[in-house]
Amino acid sequence: MGRREGGGRSGRGAQRQAAGPQQLTWRQVRNPYRPVAVLSDDQVEAIHRAALRILEELGIEVMSDQALDRLAAGGAEVERASGLVRFDRGLVEQALASAPDRFTMTPRNPARALELGGDAAIFGLVNGPPFVTDLDRGRRDGNFADYQDLLRLGQSLNIVQYVTHQSVAPMDLPAETRYLDCYQAILTLTDKAFYAAATGRERVEDALEMVALASGTDREALRDRPSIFSVINVNSPRRLDGPLSEGLIALAEHGQPAVVTPFCLMGAMTPVTLAAALAQQHAEALAGVVLTQLVRPGAPVVYGGFTSNVDLRSGAPAFGTPEYAKASMAAGQLARLVGLPYRSSNANASTSVDAQAAYESMMSLWGSLMGGAHMLHHGAGWLEGGLVASFEKLVLDAELLQNMAEFLTPIAVDDDSLAFEAMAEVGPGGHFFGTAHTLARYETAFYQPLISDWRNFESWQEAGAKTATERANALWKRLLADYQPPPLDEGRREALAAYVARRKEQAGRLAA
């Protein structure tokens, strides 16, 4: 009958809410579990072989002479007229032999350094939306004030482990130089790992210069010490554009990680079948990996998976679907086959921060993390297929990420945790609230959520009958009110400001 399963809940939860949630402490997330295999070993091999055939027979278009030069010099077959590059499998194998399977990201505050690869994973802030939204102010164009607030939240939430140069696009700043303002904001408002722009060489080099200034060192000292990273999207099918090719080259030259991520919407940018999408993604990612290793053997590079589907009846992209979860796990298998760290994302296509946003994000998170992802991009704040950065979604995602981080904490099994004596102490039908074993573990036994409300219906109603999204709204406001910038030497702060001013002036002269 299950009659005890719905059993009584007390109304004693009220004081916890008033005291406010406590966050998980800053931590290196480690994934102790064997990833889920959605493909057999034979299937993984078949997809890898199909990708090698795509690289050998169909090739990848590369829209940069610099990149074509490097590829031709490295032994790829380059058609100059079309920009088409074909890669034989020996070239791919050579690249895979030199690319590392893990590295450490070291931001300006070395206490925030994090490993990426092996069992170590890292979670990031949303990047790229042109719009921003919250419950109070609604959906609006991205702007620098909101951008800075998103950074402040990213700094405040321990589970958000890296911040992004464009958590929302600050449309109110001049397009050509806004990245400099964003870099300056990152390096003054946060001290976490820094996800930079890579559309062209100078955005990469400016990021490195500025990290060096904020760290009191120089750019040369950062070589081969990953301090920034960026996604290099392949414009699927089979096209790597000019600015991103050159950004990739700049990252690799400096030993900074390029996260090569084909953008594979099945039915639009790839065939509708998952096997084909994975083969195409794999080929496109490997092409980028080869280029990094020709530029600098041993340069860190991440295998990016971003395969989802469109609604074939409308053309609308979909995220956090069953296909997305399977693709995320399969991509992890392919990344492990070639020995590279693996990037996936916390994606959803909901237009509001509702149950759909939550379940699609959960499909993404389980697919990604049980797929063995080492880098979870767009980890917090992504809404509406990436068109919108949402303040409430950012806090909701922090809750989901904390849930996953706790899920990834292994179970202890020893005499102490098996607690035979405590069980002997409590008779049949008794309870364990007051036992010494419980009291000793009272504060830390279980995960304490950020926004989940476990109070009974009456207490919840008395407190205003707020949804999880409304509770998230209250929490981001409190986090912003409580925000404290991380320490930064005044001289370094001034050096950053001077650098940005000088670079803007140069840009102005070039434009004139």
- Please, which of residues 80-99 interact with a copy of itself by CB under 8 A? 84
Closest distance to a copy of itself from the beta carbon of 428 (Å) = 4
CB nearer to a copy of itself: pick between 144 and 483: 144
Residues 477-506 as x/- pattern, contact with a copy of itself by CB under 8 A: ------------------------------
What DSSP designation does 17 have?
Answer: H
Is residue 202 near a copy of itself by the rule CB under 8 A? Answer: no
**Which is nearer to a copy of itself, 124 or 300 (by Cβ)?**
124
Minimal distance, residue 220 CB to a copy of itself, in Å: 25
- For residues 440, 443, 444, 450, the Cα torsion angle rounded to the nearest 10 degrees is 170
**Exposure of 354 in the CB half-sphere (CA atoms within 13 A):** 6
Least distance to a copy of itself from the beta carbon of 103, Å? 20
In terms of Cα–Cα distance, which of 405, 361, 397 is closest to 380? 397
> What is the rounded distance in angstroms from the CA atom of residue 135 to the CA atom of residue 137?
6
How far apart are CB 491 and a copy of itself at their closest, in Å?
31
The vertex-183 CA angle with 179 and 185, nearest 5°, equals: 115
Minimum distance of a copy of itself from residue 418's CB (angstroms): 5
Please report, as a single letter, which amino acid is at residue 82: S
- Collect all residues with Cβ–Cβ distance below 8 Å to 292 and sequence separation of at least 6: 95, 99, 248, 251, 252, 258, 260, 299, 301
The correct pick among 422, 474, 495, 507 for binding a copy of itself (CB under 8 A) is 422
Choice from 112, 152, 178, 377 touching a copy of itself (CB under 8 A)? 377
Sign of CA dihedral 247, 253, 256, 260: positive
3-state SS, residue 51: helix
Query: Which residues from 43-82 bind a copy of itself, rule CB under 8 A?
Result: 43, 46-47, 50, 53-54, 57-58, 60-61
Instruction: State the binding string over 253-272 for a copy of itself (x if CB under 8 A, else -).
Output: --------x-x-xxxxxxxx
Listed in sequence order, the residues at least 6 apart from 52 whose beta carbon sits closer than 8 Å to its beta carbon are 89, 92, 283
Site for a copy of itself contains 237 (CB under 8 A): yes
* CA–CA dist 270, 280 (Å, integer): 7
* Amino acid code (one letter) for 142: G
Q: How far is the CB of 165 from a copy of itself (least distance, A)?
A: 8
Q: Which residue number, 46 or 488, has a Cβ lying nearer to a copy of itself?
A: 46
Q: Interaction with a copy of itself in 148-177: which residues (CB under 8 A)?
A: 165-166
Contact status, residue 232 vs residue 259, Cβ threshold 8 Å: yes
Near a copy of itself in 270-289, by CB under 8 A: 270-276, 279-280
Residue partners of 366: CB distance under 8 A and separation at least 6: 325, 404
CB of 371 within 8 A of CB of 35? yes
Number of Cβ within a 10 Å radius of residue 370 = 21
Q: Which of 350, 368, 390, 473 binds a copy of itself (CB under 8 A)?
A: 350
For residue 257, the 8-state DSSP code is P
Instruction: Measure the CA–CA gap between 139 and 145, rounded to whole angstroms.
Output: 14
Give how many residues touch a copy of itself by CB under 8 A: 161
25 binds a copy of itself (CB under 8 A): no
- Rule CB under 8 A: is residue 410 a binding residue for a copy of itself? yes
Identify the residue among 385, 391, 496, 500 touching a copy of itself (CB under 8 A).
385
Q: Is 337 in the site for a copy of itself (CB under 8 A)?
A: no
80: exposed, middle or buried (C-beta count within 10 Å: 0-12, 13-18, 19+)?
A: exposed
Q: Which of 27, 137, 441, 502 binds a copy of itself (CB under 8 A)?
A: 441
Instruction: Give, as ranges, the residues between 452 and 471 that touch a copy of itself (CB under 8 A).
Output: 452-457, 460-461, 465, 467-469
The amino acid present at 254, given as its one-letter code, is H
Min dist. Cβ of residue 97 to a copy of itself (A)? 26
Q: Of 111, 175, 413, 511, which one interacts with a copy of itself (CB under 8 A)?
A: 413
Q: How far is the CB of 505 from a copy of itself (least distance, A)?
A: 24
Q: Does 37 bind a copy of itself (CB under 8 A)?
A: yes
Report, in Å, the least distance between residue 270 CB and a copy of itself. Answer: 6
Q: What is the closest distance, in whole angstroms, from the C-beta atom of residue 313 to a copy of itself in the complex?
A: 5
**Contact positions with a copy of itself (CB under 8 A) in 316-335:** 316-318, 321-323, 325-326, 330
Of 34 and 509, CB closest to a copy of itself = 34
Provide the residue count of the chain: 512
The least distance separating a copy of itself from the CB of residue 212, rounded to whole angstroms, comes to 21
167 contacts 132 by C-beta, under 8 angstroms: no
Closest CA to 363 of 305, 408, 404: 404
- Please choose, from the candidates 37, 12, 84, the residue with its C-alpha nearest in 3D space to the C-alpha of residue 326: 37
Paired residues of 318 in beta bridges:
309
Residue 471: is it exposed, middle or buried by C-beta count within 10 angstroms (0-12/13-18/19+)? buried
Which of 407, 488, 492, 493 lies at the binding interface for a copy of itself (CB under 8 A)?
A: 407
Whether residue 323 contacts residue 309, with contact meaning beta carbons closer than 8 Å, is answered with yes
Residue 34 CB, nearest distance to a copy of itself (Å)?
6
Of these, 132, 157, 363, 375, which contacts a copy of itself (CB under 8 A)?
A: 363
Please identify which residue in 20, 26, 27, 33 interacts with a copy of itself, judged by CB under 8 A.
33
**Residue 257: CB partners within 8 Å, gap ≥ 6?**
103, 105, 116, 226, 229, 251, 299, 300, 301, 302
Nearer to a copy of itself (CB atom), residue 215 or residue 257 = 257
Given the complex with a copy of itself, which of 409 and 506 has the nearer CB atom?
A: 409
